[in-house]
């Protein structure tokens, strides 16, 4: 039993519609993820660096000799004499 041409066209339209809907959902998720990353990353430059590194994998933190905090080098210490 061979499917007729109108049935094949209808099937193609249904598949195309489903594909477009899933692409639209993925775009919405990507925009929401980007907006969330932008608002969280704009709090400080150090957090922005951490956010960029987090997307790429793990972070290598080092202890700051001045303040003793674990940071992504270089440390922008506001409290230079805290460790002394």
Q: What is the 3-state secondary structure (H, E, C) of the chain?
A: CCCCHHHHHHHHHHHHHHHHHHHHHHHHHHHHHHHHHHHHHCCCHHHHHHHHHHHHCCCCCEECCCCCCEECCCCCCCCCCCCC
What residue spans define the domains of the chain? 1-42, 45-84
How confident is the model over 6-58, as pLDDT tens digits?
999 999 999 999 999 999 999 999 988 888 877 765 555 555 555 555 566 67
Residue 4 — pLDDT band, cuts 50, 70, 90?
A: very high
The better pLDDT of the pair 16, 3 is held by 16
The better pLDDT of the pair 78, 50 is held by 78
């Amino acid at each position: 039993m061979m499917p007729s041409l109108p049935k094949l066209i209808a099937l193609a339209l249904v598949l195309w519609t489903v594909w477009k809907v899933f692409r639209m959902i993925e775009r919405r998720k990507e925009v929401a993820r980007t907006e969330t990353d932008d608002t969280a990353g704009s709090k400080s430059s150090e957090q922005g660096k951490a956010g960029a590194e987090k997307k790429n994998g793990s972070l290598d933190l080092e202890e700051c000799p001045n303040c003793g905090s674990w940071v992504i080098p270089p440390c922008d210490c506001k409290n230079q004499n805290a460790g002394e």
